[in-house]
Amino acid sequence: MDELDRYHDLEGQSSHQGQTESTVPRKTTFLAIAVVLLVVALIGMVIAAVFAVSADGSSKTRPRNLIFVLADGTSPASYTFAREMSNFNSENPSPPLPLDQYFVGHAKTFSADHVVTDSAAGATAYSCTQLTNNEMVAVTPEGRACATLLEAAKKQGFMTGAVTNTRVTHASPASFTAHVPHRDSEQDIASQQTYNFSQSLDLLMGGGKAEFDERDDGVNFIEVLKSDGVKVIYTPDELQDLNTLPAVGLFAESHLDYEIDRMRNTPRTQPSLSEMVAKTLELFQKDGRKFILFIESGRIDQAAHANDPGAHYWEMNQYMKTAQVLEEFVGMNTETAVFFTSDHATGGISTGRRYNNDSYPEYTWFPNVVLRQTQSMAGMTLRLMKGEDLQTVYLEETGIDLENDHPEAYAELTGRTPTDNLQYKSALGFPLTSEAMIGWTTIGHTGVDINTYRMGVDISSIKGVVQNYKIGEILADTMGLVEALEEINEKYKSWTFDLTDISRGIQKMVKYHEDL
């Protein structure tokens, strides 16, 4: 019975009962009540849609869109380092980083089986809202595929995307878009991203083209994507012109270049992370549907693995440019929440170090030394591998006279065969690192808590120090994805991997969307 029917019935009833006439005409009174009831009901529906009650009972605003940003391998000291570096040549004595004002707190990063996590378990904690073992990509410690935020989002009618400057098949983006028991199965990840594209993604951008078209199985997955109606692009110009979804951008055979190297190329052969993100937001906005977007600034980590200060800085700089693009977007799209976090810290970078064992250190470090660096240690290593002269390359790209100012390091490096591995690259970076008074403790990850930030709609229950998977849980709850995650996990109960032979589980892949 709608409100108008109710009015007629009540009108007839009251007449029969011979009630006293009100001073306000009865018909008008009932109409007014009906309108009020309707308005109250509508307001209630709007409030229910905008606010969600979380598990702890607190109500919070529900954003329409969510952008989740993972700054891979970024330690709290990376932010200090980047701030002081960008401050060095500035008129302003202490310009903040674009993210400084959005600081929330810290996240603990340990995985299910290691006190220091890797990127697979680190990203899975967020994507599957649970801890798993190192090297596992959206798979539980028991070997079962676990539903990801992007899969749940797609099921709930969100548009979804994943953008990175590493290979799209690398551990972090893979943990949101595929399921393998070991992160090294990147060809399997590419095949899942292809065959399951429509159930988890509208857009995928980054590097890693070779994982799709130079495969051991001989299948060209780029052709498979195209035959499924997905637009595939490879260059910055094609990115500029892109105006349709679904789309995949594969801008490099492997990872995109370090930003410090990418900037050297004229004309530019690859887009920057911020350019990929800006285009993604433009396309999502044009489409108009609600969306959940995963962004990874992935090479901050790799530069820190190589103990390469210049590469680390320019990756942080590009990450901050991406943050500015997002800041501008949420300024105009106020129903969007952006959450920034990291999977772990890498390299153990510090600003200030002991220069040698004989003296007490000066309380300083030298950003200007790092600012002189114009090529990554990886880029210099490749040149040395091709036979270029160490002294010449180092002087050209760092301004440091290796032979005269660092004779010990020069002797050590000339005695080694240039090799594309972290040990060589970190040794190559050591003279610059020590002149800059930058410290590194490892070529691996560290277990320190990492920074979290947020922009846009207040996701107020994320604050202080939280375990990484809790952030995933809160985001899933905030975006209304909990039930969808549970439903997909129910489907995935049969998608288990034989952990003694990681390649066999792939054949049991479950397409949960087949009977949606």
The answer to whether 344 is a known ligand-binding residue is: yes
Alpha carbon dihedral 497, 504, 343, 262, in 10-degree steps, equals: -160
* Shortest Å distance, C-beta 114 to Zn ion: 13
At 400 the three-state DSSP class reads coil
* Shortest Å distance, C-beta 301 to Zn ion: 4
Which of 119/200 has CB closer to Zn ion?
A: 119
Which of 72/397 has CB closer to Zn ion?
A: 72
Who's near 185: CB < 8 A, 6+ residues apart? Answer: 137, 502, 503, 506
Query: What is the number of the residue whose Cβ is closest to Zn ion?
Result: 301
Report the b/e string of 484-513 with b at 16+ CB within 10 A: bbeebbebbeebbbebeebeebbeebbebe
Q: φ and ψ at 232, to 5 degrees?
A: -115, 130
* Shortest Å distance, C-beta 118 to Zn ion: 7
CA distance 144 to 75: 31
Q: Are strands 103-108 and 450-456 parallel, antiparallel or unpaired?
A: antiparallel
Neighbours of 400 (CB within 10 A): 19
Of the listed pieces 3-11, 24-32, 293-301, 411-419, which binds Zn ion according to CB under 5 A? 293-301
Which of 259/301 has CB closer to Zn ion?
A: 301
Which of 301/315 has CB closer to Zn ion?
A: 301
Which of 420/483 has CB closer to Zn ion?
A: 420
Alpha helices in 182-251, H assignment, sequence order: 186-195, 197-200, 210-213, 221-227, 236-241
Angle value at C-alpha 219, between 215 and 221, nearest 5 degrees:
90
Which of 126/158 has CB closer to Zn ion?
A: 126
The answer to whether 72 is a known ligand-binding residue is: yes
Q: Mark whether 15 is an active-site residue.
A: no
The answer to whether 343 is a known ligand-binding residue is: yes
Distances (CA, A) of 222 to 186, 188, 195, 234: 15, 14, 11, 11
Which of 275/301 has CB closer to Zn ion?
A: 301
Which helix (H) or strand (E) element contains residue 280? helix 273-287
* Shortest Å distance, C-beta 344 to Zn ion: 7
Of the listed pieces 294-302, 383-391, 420-428, 505-513, which binds Zn ion according to CB under 5 A? 294-302
Please select the residue that binds Zn ion; options are 135, 257, 261, 301, rule is CB under 5 A.
301
CA distance 206 to 165: 5
* Shortest Å distance, C-beta 305 to Zn ion: 6
Q: How many residues lie near Zn ion (CB under 5 A)?
A: 2
Q: φ and ψ at 113, to 5 degrees?
A: -125, 0
Of the listed pieces 170-178, 297-305, 432-440, 463-471, which binds Zn ion according to CB under 5 A? 297-305
The answer to whether 296 is a known ligand-binding residue is: yes
How many Å separate Cα 152 from the centre of its chain?
A: 17
CA distance 376 to 380: 6
Of the listed pieces 34-42, 195-203, 301-309, 422-430, which binds Zn ion according to CB under 5 A? 301-309
Which of 123/479 has CB closer to Zn ion?
A: 123
CA distance 27 to 40: 20
* Shortest Å distance, C-beta 425 to Zn ion: 14
User: Which pair of structure tokens corresponds to residue 103?
Assistant: 């600081």
* Shortest Å distance, C-beta 282 to Zn ion: 31
Considering only residues 226 to 285 of the shown chain, the ones binding Zn ion according to CB under 5 A are none
Please pick, among 78, 86, 119, 185, the residue that the annotation labels catalytic: 119
The answer to whether 305 is a known ligand-binding residue is: yes
Build a one-symbol-per-residue string for 49-78: x at contacts with Zn ion by CB under 5 A, - elsewhere: ------------------------x-----
User: Which pair of structure tokens corresponds to residue 27?
Assistant: 């018909």
Contact criterion met (CB below 8 Å) for 267 and 233: no
CA distance 106 to 470: 12
Q: φ and ψ at 75, to 5 degrees?
A: -90, 160
Neighbours of 218 (CB within 10 A): 6
* Shortest Å distance, C-beta 290 to Zn ion: 32
Amino acid identity of 393?
Answer: V
Contact criterion met (CB below 8 Å) for 83 and 65: no
Contact criterion met (CB below 8 Å) for 349 and 312: yes
Q: φ and ψ at 267, to 5 degrees?
A: -70, 165
DSSP bridge pairs for 163? 205, 295
Please give the positions annotated as active site: 119
Annotated binding site for Mg(2+): 72, 170, 172, 296, 344
Annotated binding site for Zn(2+): 72, 301, 305, 343, 445
**Which residues in this chain contact Zn ion in the complex, by CB under 5 A?**
73, 301
Annotated binding site: 72, 170, 172, 296, 301, 305, 343-344, 445
